[in-house]
Amino acid sequence: MTDTPALPAVNREWHLLSRPVGWPRPEDFALVEAPMPAPGEGQVLVRNVYASVDPYMRGRMSAAKSYAAPFELGKAMQGGAVGEVVASRAEGFAVGDHVLHFSGWREYAAFDAKNAVKVDPQAAPLSTYLGVLGMTGLTAYAGLLRTASFKEGDVVFVSGAAGAVGSQVGQIAKLKGASRVIGSAGSDEKVKLLIEEYGFDAAFNYKSGPVSEQLRTAAPDGIDVYFDNVGGDHLEAAIGSLNRDGRIAICGMISVYNNTEPAPGPRNLARLIQTRGRIEGFLVGDHYDLQPQFVQEVGPWVASGALKYRETVAEGIENHLEAFLGVLRGDNTGKMIVKL
């Protein structure tokens, strides 16, 4: 075992105390001090440098059966993180290595090395492995190209387009030859960002008027692909503007995550008969076979600046929860990252 001596006596980690009903409240969580973990055989101890907060984590705070196991009450929550190995009892991992893993929401984590992926901080900033070159980027890539069967010349509409996933969806569509890319966002500043920095052809503030009307104005000839991060009125508007053989990829529905009653479905589903449209949900975990192709294609775009990204960085583990709540409110531009 190799290790470094200067470790703190305690480890701070976020626990879920009670399952939120509706919007999560600060009293549902606690930042607690726990004993510093020690790696067992085949494990590494990692000092987390950056941690991710993502909308899907809201679902894990509920007890309802879902694609991911609920967070356990009174125990550290989990999430993507990237950090530095400070002790190792695993072959192939040395002190000083940097790894991507899923034991976030804490300052230090000990876990099986088989659950860690080495990353190179010289090739790209560490934070990008949680966003543009990580699960976020692969979500955009797989959802657009595989689930939505994007093809050159398509008109693409993206909701939550200034977010970590949405901003990449729009840019990848442009780089792949979309004829028009439209995005929705929650502020005029984000709309400006979509057009001026990310190269969207049109964008609108969904708070400025009915989504259906704004979408028809932005896409007078209809849309071929809708990448859904929001659900609700956005999904209904997209169905209303869908062209023949249009495809809708359901990535997330952040507008309904905190509802205490079931959200009403789109009122115009019958239009899918006329358009022969298709709606399909997807999870990035089903598409990890695309990871090598994704890195090979997207990595050079990021390195060259052809694909731009933004990060909203919260400083300190004490602000971890507020960063998560900020994602649910839409406070972030691009990927929300916590710097520990």
pLDDT in tens, 148-172: 999 999 999 999 999 999 999 999 9
By C-alpha distance, which of 206, 164, 149 is closest to 183? Answer: 206
pLDDT at 262 (0 to 100)? 76
211: pLDDT strictly greater than 60? yes
**300 by DSSP, 3-state: which?**
helix
Mean pLDDT of 228-250: 97
249: pLDDT strictly greater than 90? yes
pLDDT at 264 (0 to 100)? 78
Helix then strand then coil, % of the chain, to nearest 5: 35, 30, 40
pLDDT digits (tens, 9 = 90+) for 63-107: 887 778 899 999 999 999 999 999 999 999 999 999 999 999 999
pLDDT digits (tens, 9 = 90+) for 289-316: 998 899 889 989 998 999 999 999 999 9
pLDDT at 330 (0 to 100)? 87
Mean pLDDT of 12-18: 98
* CA atoms 246, 249, 250, 251: torsion sign: negative
Mean pLDDT of the chain: 94
Regarding beta strands 81-88 and 43-52, do their DSSP bridges make them parallel or antiparallel, or are they unpaired? antiparallel
Neighbours of 6 (CB within 10 A): 5
Burial of 120 by CB count in 10 Å (0-12 exposed, 13-18 middle, 19+ buried)?
exposed
